[in-house]
């Protein structure tokens, strides 16, 4: 009760200080659930508000955050031929990952929440909770070497044009995190594409290039020196025979599954010790998060299952066609590469932008898997398709539900 009384005493005046009151309300509602529950003839009668629903998604993402942080460091040292064992140089890899990831998270939160607070204050209502999840998803779908100013611009576009222009949380028709990713991809294609962006800490991926360490690495070196363990060595350079930093998808497009397995083992791809977006490489940890969302009934199993079926069907069709090396990749190996699991578990199931009817969810999910596989395999400029497929189906999700409801009403009228 002492903390609750403290919150009540410091509450700013809503009319005199709308921005301060908005900040206060965000902190208060994060700490406390609603004091009242819904009464009457409705099916929801507890204190599970939107903010607590979103927290389930944030918790489900934590393993992806932990692994992604460490994998940033692992790829950095693999480029220099150091600590090639996954757990070798553990403290250095984790430290480098934190140095790289923390600024990405801070920029995402400061820019995104800053915009939300400004709009909430102007509207005179509480901060909308939607960016809690978007702010966690955006860093995980970005390359580890993404320029921070580009990230900031993409978030401004996604939040203002993709959400606030439609009325705020619950009104947006496209997934905000994916809008940020698609904006940065198409606005800055030369910077955000290729192999360089997947490996952090180097000005270029060329033999002999030294690591680009900064003051944060020096701080950690001081701590590691006291502990008498290995430190960051700026004299170490890229391995002599070069390090491409190419992702499995890029290799598959140019040379099929043989080119992929020449660089990565199946175990590396499954566990995620490969270059890629920060949170999208480790399939087991993504699956654990997906199971958590299913058990808490936050995400729809219909969308996850139908999307998987759609991807399998299209992959089998492409296998039968076999006109390019990428088409010949067996359907089950398609799931070892890229961000399919992450996209389907955390993006396609967004309850705001996905279809709401049960039949609509089957159609919506199947088309995401089907179309996404087409984009992945047949598009030479973008060897991954889930981002575009999800945004495309976001656009038609309401239309899908409309025809599902129309069909249901016609059946009932005919039965009457």
DSSP, residue by residue, 375-390 = HHHH-TT-S--HHHHH
CA atoms within 13 A on the CB side of 328: 11
Q: What is the pLDDT of residue 35?
A: 59
State pTM to two decimals: 0.88
Residues 127 and 276 in one domain: no
Residue range(s) defining the domain that contains residue 124: 12-32+50-207+216-245
Structure tokens at 128: 């909308």
Write the CB contacts of 339 (distance below 8 Å, at least 6 apart in sequence).
141, 276, 277, 280, 384, 386
pLDDT of residue 264: 93
**Residue 44 domain-assigned (yes or no):** no
The pLDDT value given to residue 47: 52
CB atoms within 10 A of CB 117: 20
Please say whether the beta carbons of 192 and 146 come within 8 A: yes
The whole-angstrom separation of Cα 111 and Cα 133 is 14
CA distance 391 to 134: 15
Contact by Cβ (8 Å): 260, 248: yes
In this structure, are 238 and 111 located in the same domain? yes
14 neighbors 22 (Cβ within 8 angstroms): no
Asked if residue 114 belongs to a domain, the reply is yes
The answer to whether residue 140 sits within a structural domain is yes
Q: Is 194 part of a structural domain of the chain?
A: yes
The H-or-E segment that residue 341 falls in is helix 340-342
Query: Which tokens belong to 322?
Result: 């076999």
Do 20 and 54 fall within a single domain? yes
Rounded CA Rg of the chain: 23
- Give yes or no: residues 279 and 233 share one domain: no
Are 202 and 294 in a shared domain?
A: no
Considering the domain architecture, whether residues 184 and 323 belong to the same structural domain is answered as no
Residues of the chain with pLDDT under 70: 1-4, 7-10, 13-52, 125-130, 240-244, 383, 416
Q: Exposed/middle/buried for 172, CB within 10 Å: 0-12, 13-18, 19+? A: buried
How many structural domains compose the chain? 2
Alpha-carbon span 85 to 171, nearest angstrom: 47
- Any bridge partners for residue 237, and if so which? 210
Residues in the chain: 416
Same domain for 283 and 200: no
| Whether residue 355 sits in one domain with residue 221 | no
147 and 261 fall within a common domain: no
The reported pLDDT for the residue numbered 42 is 45
Residue 2 lies in a domain: no
What percentage of the chain reaches a pLDDT higher than 90? Answer: 63
pLDDT recorded at residue 238? 81
Task: Let me know if residue 294 belongs to a domain.
Answer: yes
User: What confidence tens digit (pLDDT) does each residue in 231-284 have?
Assistant: 999 888 887 565 667 889 989 988 999 999 999 999 999 999 999 999 999 999
Is there a domain that residue 3 lies in? no
């Amino acid at each position: 009760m002492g903390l609750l009384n403290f919150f009540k005493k410091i509450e700013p005046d809503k009319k005199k200080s709308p921005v301060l009151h908005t900040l206060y309300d965000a902190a208060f509602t994060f700490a406390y659930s609603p004091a009242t529950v819904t009464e009457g003839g409705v099916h929801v009668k507890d204190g599970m508000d939107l903010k607590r629903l979103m927290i389930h998604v944030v918790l489900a993402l934590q393993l992806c955050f932990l692994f992604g942080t460490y994998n940033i460091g692992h790829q950095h040292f693999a480029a220099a031929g150091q600590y090639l064992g996954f757990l070798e140089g553990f403290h250095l890899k984790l430290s480098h990952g934190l140095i790289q990831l923390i600024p990405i998270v801070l920029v995402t939160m400061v820019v995104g929440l800053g915009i939300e607070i400004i709009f909430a204050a102007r509207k005179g209502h509480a901060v909308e909770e939607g960016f809690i999840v978007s702010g966690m998803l955006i860093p995980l779908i970005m390359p580890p070497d993404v320029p921070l100013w580009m990230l900031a611009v993409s978030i401004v576009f996604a939040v203002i044009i993709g959400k606030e222009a439609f009325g705020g949380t619950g009104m947006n028709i496209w997934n905000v995190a994916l809008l940020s990713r698609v904006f940065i991809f198409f606005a800055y294609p030369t910077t955000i594409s290729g192999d360089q962006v997947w490996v952090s800490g180097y000005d270029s991926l060329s033999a002999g290039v030294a690591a680009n360490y900064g003051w944060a690495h020096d701080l950690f070196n001081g701590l590691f020196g006291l502990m008498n363990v290995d430190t960051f060595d700026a004299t170490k350079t890229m391995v002599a025979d070069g390090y491409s930093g190419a992702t499995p998808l890029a290799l598959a497009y140019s040379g099929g599954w043989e080119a992929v397995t020449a660089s990565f083992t199946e175990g590396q791809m499954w566990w995620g010790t490969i270059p890629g977006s920060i949170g999208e490489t480790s399939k087991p940890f993504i699956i654990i998060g997906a199971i958590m969302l299913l058990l808490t009934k936050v995400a729809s199993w219909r969308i996850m299952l139908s999307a998987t079926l759609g991807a399998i069907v299209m992959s089998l069709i492409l296998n039968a066609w076999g006109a390019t090396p990428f088409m010949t990749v067996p359907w089950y190996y398609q799931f070892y590469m890229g961000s399919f699991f992450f996209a389907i578990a955390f993006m396609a199931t967004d309850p705001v932008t996905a279809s709401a009817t049960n039949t609509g969810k089957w159609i919506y999910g199947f088309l995401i898997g089907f179309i996404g596989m087409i984009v992945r395999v047949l598009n030479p400029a973008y060897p991954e398709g889930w981002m575009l497929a999800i945004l495309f189906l976001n656009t038609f999700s309401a239309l899908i539900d409309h025809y599902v409801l129309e069909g249901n009403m016609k059946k009932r009228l005919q039965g009457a």
